[in-house]
């Protein structure tokens, strides 16, 4: 934590720094430590420098149509079926021993809200749509503009095992090939 703060401080000293990633990382570190004043300072620095956080989104192609999701998105016409599938998957994941990693959720939420919000990250919505819209056993390919969080990575490993399907997620770091509860990255991403 201390090393991360020192590194971030050096980055913040660079006037030309316009990439949101270091700011977001530092804000998350401060939030996890309960240092809300410092979270505010980071957000102010972002605003003062015109740095904007890019929203996460995922997309999947089904029957020659692109379906795009953001976190907690509820605009898709098949949202009721998607939510039913997520509820079923969550139940099965819990039976397999899944415990949500809430360090990946927004820090200003209570624990129950954090757990609930993780279920609806963009890649999980895209996977749920794929599961209800494509033939059983067929592979799933999801594209994501940012890096997948640790909780989604762990969840997708379990989902691949539960549904018996190969799921590939291309995030901003690499292709993750999930199959039988394992990922090709060896849990290093």
Which position has the higher pLDDT, 102 or 106? 102
Which residues touch 134 (CB under 8 Å, ≥6 apart)?
62, 140
Q: What pLDDT does 1 receive?
A: 63
What tens digit of pLDDT does each residue of 37-90 get?
Answer: 888 888 888 888 888 888 889 999 999 999 999 998 999 999 999 999 999 999
pLDDT of 138 over the 80 cut: yes
pLDDT of 158 over the 90 cut: yes
Which position has the higher pLDDT, 35 or 169? 169
Handedness of CA 151, 154, 160, 162 (dihedral sign): negative
The token duo for 128 is 């749920």
Give the pLDDT band of residue 17 (cuts 50, 70, 90).
low
Q: What pLDDT does 113 receive?
A: 84
CA atoms of 36 and 71, how far apart (whole Å): 23
What tens digit of pLDDT does each residue of 108-129 get?
Answer: 677 888 888 889 999 999 999 9
The model's pTM is: 0.81
Percent of the chain with pLDDT over 70: 93
Q: What pLDDT does 189 receive?
A: 63
What is the signed CA dihedral for 135, 57, 104, 78, rounded to 10 degrees?
A: -50
């Amino acid at each position: 934590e201390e090393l991360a703060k020192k590194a971030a401080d050096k980055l913040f000293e660079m006037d030309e720094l316009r990439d949101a990633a270091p700011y977001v990382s530092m804000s998350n570190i401060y939030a996890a430590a309960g240092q809300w004043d410092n979270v505010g300072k980071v957000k102010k620095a972002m605003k003062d420098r015109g740095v904007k956080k890019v929203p996460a989104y995922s997309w999947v192609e089904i029957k020659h149509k692109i379906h795009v999701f953001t976190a907690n998105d509820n605009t898709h016409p098949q949202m009721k079926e998607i939510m039913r599938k997520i509820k079923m998957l969550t139940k099965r994941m819990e039976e397999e021993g899944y415990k949500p990693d809430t360090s990946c959720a927004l820090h200003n939420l209570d624990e129950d809200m954090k757990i609930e919000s993780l279920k609806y990250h963009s890649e999980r919505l895209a996977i749920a749509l794929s599961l209800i819209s494509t033939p059983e056993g067929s592979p799933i390919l999801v594209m994501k503009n940012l890096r997948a969080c640790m909780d989604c990575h762990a969840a997708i490993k379990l989902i691949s095992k539960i549904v018996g399907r190969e799921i590939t997620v291309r995030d901003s770091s690499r292709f993750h090939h999930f199959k039988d509860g394992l990922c090709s990255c060896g849990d290093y991403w």
